[in-house]
């Protein structure tokens, strides 16, 4: 099997190639059960991403790349399979970037599987560099509040925002995480808490509604979140609830960082108003037996103005305002043109 070594702390790789299928951790079953699932064809890949068995911007990108490989092996036309996979979730641009990388490979006569495997390795390497840059940036800040799950499960490395936490822990620096529950699907309480507990990192869970009070009440040294898409001006789409954290951090004078690989940056999108925000089912919110049947607005993401972001921690270092120039320079200097 290829796709990277097991996580060092009992968290298996979130995605790996078996030779005939893509093996993923079924994140719906956590924390109760650690289920590995082999996805043998593009239908199974699309279903896994759509149902959030596989979730998190980076890992849906790499899983989607393998999905295109599987579709091509089944003889499906390239454009059809690429559009099908890329359209599974609309907000995280990583999915489109990864699918496009495979499409470009096929068009230039390269082996699509090699490209998908290279994406896995690149993601792991980029996450490590994000972790190290964030560790140095936040060397004096020990109590970090994070949202959703941005760690080993959400990437093919040790994570983006959580990569910073893992890097601090690896270096022996003090670190304590306040993890928001992340309603409605509880990625924080189910996944971040599970991953950090397994990694031996001090973690405490709060309900989302407690976050502003924690930040204004002096319990947090920095807020660190991931991103599903960063517009050219630094506006950031991330799990719903992120905007409230940024507003509270701004009010409290607490630094607010976005940690993301550069393939979350979409220079074609000038600002947040152009980012498509995924709307999900009412049943994710009114999810208890006997809940009333009324309309629900259930956006999976919200949009944080770049003006609230202290720094964007990437694999090429911490980018600072004005993001319109620092993001463009970083993307153009990277191998992603």
- The answer to the question of residue 55 lying near ligand MRU (CB under 6 A) is yes
Q: Which of 68, 119, 154, 231 binds ligand MRU (CB under 6 A)?
A: 154
Residues touching ligand MRU, count (CB under 6 A) = 17
- The answer to the question of residue 238 lying near ligand MRU (CB under 6 A) is yes
Considering only residues 294 to 333 of the shown chain, the ones binding ligand MRU according to CB under 6 A are 300
Question: Active-site residue numbers?
Answer: 228
Q: Whose Cβ is closer to ligand MRU: residue 78's or residue 277's?
A: 277
Q: Which of 14, 58, 304, 310 binds ligand MRU (CB under 6 A)?
A: 58
- The answer to the question of residue 180 lying near ligand MRU (CB under 6 A) is no
- Residues 251 and 314: beta-carbon distance below 8 Å: no
Euclidean distance between CA atoms 281 and 284, whole angstroms: 6
- The answer to the question of residue 183 lying near ligand MRU (CB under 6 A) is no
Q: Which of 21, 57, 99, 230 binds ligand MRU (CB under 6 A)?
A: 57
Q: Which of 11, 92, 113, 115 binds ligand MRU (CB under 6 A)?
A: 92
> With CB under 6 A as the contact rule, which of the stretches 51-59, 68-76, 105-113, 168-176 interacts with ligand MRU?
51-59
Q: Whose Cβ is closer to ligand MRU: residue 72's or residue 93's?
A: 93
- The answer to the question of residue 153 lying near ligand MRU (CB under 6 A) is no
- Evaluated on CA atoms 155, 337, 91, 132, the torsion sign reads positive
The nearest distance, CB 151 to ligand MRU, in angstroms, is 8
Q: Whose Cβ is closer to ligand MRU: residue 157's or residue 255's?
A: 157
Q: Which of 187, 192, 263, 314 binds ligand MRU (CB under 6 A)?
A: 187
Q: Whose Cβ is closer to ligand MRU: residue 105's or residue 187's?
A: 187
Q: Whose Cβ is closer to ligand MRU: residue 105's or residue 303's?
A: 303
The nearest distance, CB 17 to ligand MRU, in angstroms, is 20
Q: Record the tokens describing residue 141, joined without a space.
A: 């800040």
Euclidean distance between CA atoms 210 and 182, whole angstroms: 11
Site string for ligand MRU, 209-228 (x = CB under 6 A): -----------------xxx
Closest C-alpha among 284, 272, 276 to residue 232: 272
Burial (CB count within 10 angstroms: exposed 0-12, middle 13-18, buried 19+), residue 80: exposed
- The answer to the question of residue 56 lying near ligand MRU (CB under 6 A) is yes
- The answer to the question of residue 126 lying near ligand MRU (CB under 6 A) is no
Q: Whose Cβ is closer to ligand MRU: residue 56's or residue 306's?
A: 56
Binding site for ligand MRU (CB under 6 A): 55-58, 92, 148, 150, 154-155, 160, 187, 226-228, 238-239, 300
């Amino acid at each position: 099997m290829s796709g990277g070594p097991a996580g060092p702390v009992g968290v298996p790789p979130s995605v790996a190639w078996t030779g005939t299928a893509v093996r993923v951790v079924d994140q719906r079953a956590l924390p109760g059960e650690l289920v590995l699932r082999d996805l043998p064809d593009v239908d199974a890949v699309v279903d896994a991403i759509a149902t959030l068995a596989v979730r998190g911007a980076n890992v849906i990108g790499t899983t989607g790349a393998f999905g295109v490989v599987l579709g091509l092996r089944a003889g499906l036309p390239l454009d059809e399979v690429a559009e099908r996979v890329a359209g599974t979730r609309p907000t995280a641009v990583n999915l489109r970037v990864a699918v496009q990388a495979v499409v470009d490979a096929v068009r230039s006569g390269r082996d699509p599987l090699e490209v998908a495997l290279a994406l896995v390795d690149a993601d792991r390497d980029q996450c490590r560099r994000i972790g190290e840059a964030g560790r140095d940036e936040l060397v004096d800040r020990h109590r970090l509040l994070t949202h959703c799950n941005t760690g080993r499960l959400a990437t093919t490395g040790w994570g983006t925002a959580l990569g910073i936490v893992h890097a601090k822990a690896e270096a022996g620096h003090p670190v304590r995480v306040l993890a928001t529950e992340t309603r409605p699907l509880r990625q924080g309480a189910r996944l971040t808490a599970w991953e950090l507990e397994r990694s031996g990192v001090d973690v405490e869970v709060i309900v989302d509604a407690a976050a502003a009070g924690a930040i204004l009440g002096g319990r947090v040294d920095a807020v660190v979140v991931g991103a599903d898409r960063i517009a050219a001006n630094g506006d950031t789409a991330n799990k719903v609830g992120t905007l409230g954290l940024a507003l509270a951090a701004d009010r409290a004078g607490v630094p607010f960082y976005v940690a993301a690989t550069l393939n979350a940056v979409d220079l074609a999108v000038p600002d947040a108003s152009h980012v498509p925000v995924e709307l999900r089912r009412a049943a994710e919110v009114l999810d208890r037996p006997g809940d009333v049947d009324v309309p629900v607005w259930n956006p999976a993401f919200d949009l944080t103005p770049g003006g609230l972001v202290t720094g964007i921690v990437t694999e090429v270092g911490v980018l600072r305002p004005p993001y319109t120039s620092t993001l463009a320079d970083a993307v153009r200097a990277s191998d992603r043109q």
